[in-house]
Amino acid sequence: MNFKIEHSEGAARAGLLETGRGPIHTPAFMPVGTVGTVKAMSPEELKEVGSEIILSNTYHLYLRPGHEIIRNLGGLHKFMHWDGPILTDSGGFQVFSLSSLRKIHEAGVEFRSHLDGSRHFIGPEKAMEIQTLLGSDIAMAFDECTPYPAEYGYAVKSLELTTKWAGQCRAFQFNNLDDRGGGNRQQLFGIVQGSMYKDLRKRGLEELMGIGFDGYAVGGLSVGEPKEEMYEIIGFIAPLMPQDRPRYLMGVGDLRDMLTAVDNGFDMFDCVMPTRNARNGTLFTSEGRISIKRTEYRTDPGPLDPACGCYTCRNYSRAYLRHIFLAREILSMRLNTIHNLYFYIHFMQDMRKAINDGSFRQYKKYWEGILGQGA
């Protein structure tokens, strides 16, 4: 087994996911490196902020520079100079959110590139082939990310396709083992869809469990639905998921959402929120979010967050960070991203410590107070 739960408190788990490229301590946040770079960061800086794993996007790398080019250059890790674990998404979400003129067939999805309008087709085998050639440590099964809101009838058909494709992805993996050897093989996670319908979520999960995956992800949340609906699904589905496998809540990165999800037993998260916000000057601190633009920081000699130990907080004042943000300097995006990712990763590390100490409920309550009920 690649995954061990070391401690738990209620449903919350502190776990350890082993990969051929190193361990991932959970709960874990995965910074998003869409096109083979986490925006504004070097790989060394990612390590310094504590990242144990990053996510990269199959759809983007397939279109540019192309997965075969990356394979011929030694795989994605070598290409981007990152030797830690990489999870690649399946491309499903991006095909639906970024491409145009897409047509869904039983065999996959026909679409046009958002870059140049060229025509492409990705189905489950193709998605697996791409991820195998990229050489990621964790691959995701190809799914249809059901749009929100969805009629029940559409959600059923969409789920059936996702289940069918999941089976084909699993079969592809069995038949096309990569050459890394057993201990270092690519893991494959299935994705539970089913929109906001509990019976469909349950059915989808059970079908995936019937196929058997290394880990189980929940997709199609944080796509525009009210928070209550998302929390309903999270609370409903988590207890049904296999205890002994990692559980990944895709695309969720709001702090309160992650607290709730960990409380329900989720282990892994990814989101562009810390990196995108950083570039826009919105920073996460021990006292809540701040905008670095604020006039009061003009002469402020203090660090962004006195409670933070990141490179940015150790070496720069709020006044400087405000100045280079207003001047639109590249260093601003760098320093802000370092801070936000450090914050996110330490937020998870602290959750883990709290679970180990039996103080997670307290940690959650403390943070909910800071974040505010409406945040």
* Spatial separation of the C-alpha atoms in residues 313 and 303, rounded to whole Å: 5
In the set 330, 369, 373, 374, which binds its own copies (CB under 8 A)?
A: 330
Contacts of 112 (CB under 8 A, 6+ apart): 99, 100, 101, 102, 118, 119, 120
User: How far, in Å, CA of 336 to CA of 344, rounded?
Assistant: 12
3 state DSSP class of 222? coil
User: Catalytic: which of 137, 143, 267, 270?
Assistant: 270
Residue of 10, 64, 280, 365 that binds its own copies (CB under 8 A) = 64
State the helix-helix crossing angle for 360-371 and 330-357, rounded to 10 degrees.
Answer: 140
Select from 101, 100, 218, 233 the least CA-distant residue to 159. Answer: 218
Binding to its own copies (CB under 8 A) within 68-107 occurs at: 69, 72-74, 79-81
Residue spans of alpha helices (H) in 51-136: 58-63, 67-72, 76-80, 92-97, 124-134
CA dihedral 45, 49, 53, 59 (to 10 degrees): -60
Is 316 among the residues that bind its own copies (CB under 8 A)? yes
By CB under 8 A, is residue 326 in contact with its own copies? yes
Query: With binding defined as CB under 8 A, does residue 167 bind its own copies?
Result: no
Q: Is 305 a catalytic residue?
A: no
Q: Is 293 in the site for its own copies (CB under 8 A)?
A: no
Indicate which single residue of 157, 180, 202, 323 sits in contact with its own copies (rule: CB under 8 A). 323
Taking the complex as a whole, how short is the minimal distance between the CB of residue 43 and its own copies, in angstroms?
8
Residues in region 4-43 near its own copies by CB under 8 A: 35-37, 39-42
Residues of span 198-227 touching its own copies by CB under 8 A: none
* 137 flagged as catalytic: no
Residue 189 vs 297, nearer CB to its own copies: 297
Q: Which residue has the tokens 């489950």?
A: 124
- Give me the amino acid identity at 353: K
Interface residue with its own copies, options 209, 331, 370, 371 (CB under 8 A): 331
- Kindly list the residues in this chain that would bind its own copies in the complex (CB under 8 A): 35-37, 39-42, 64-65, 69, 72-74, 79-81, 298-299, 301, 315-317, 319-320, 322-324, 326-327, 329-331, 333-334
List residues with catalytic annotation.
89, 270
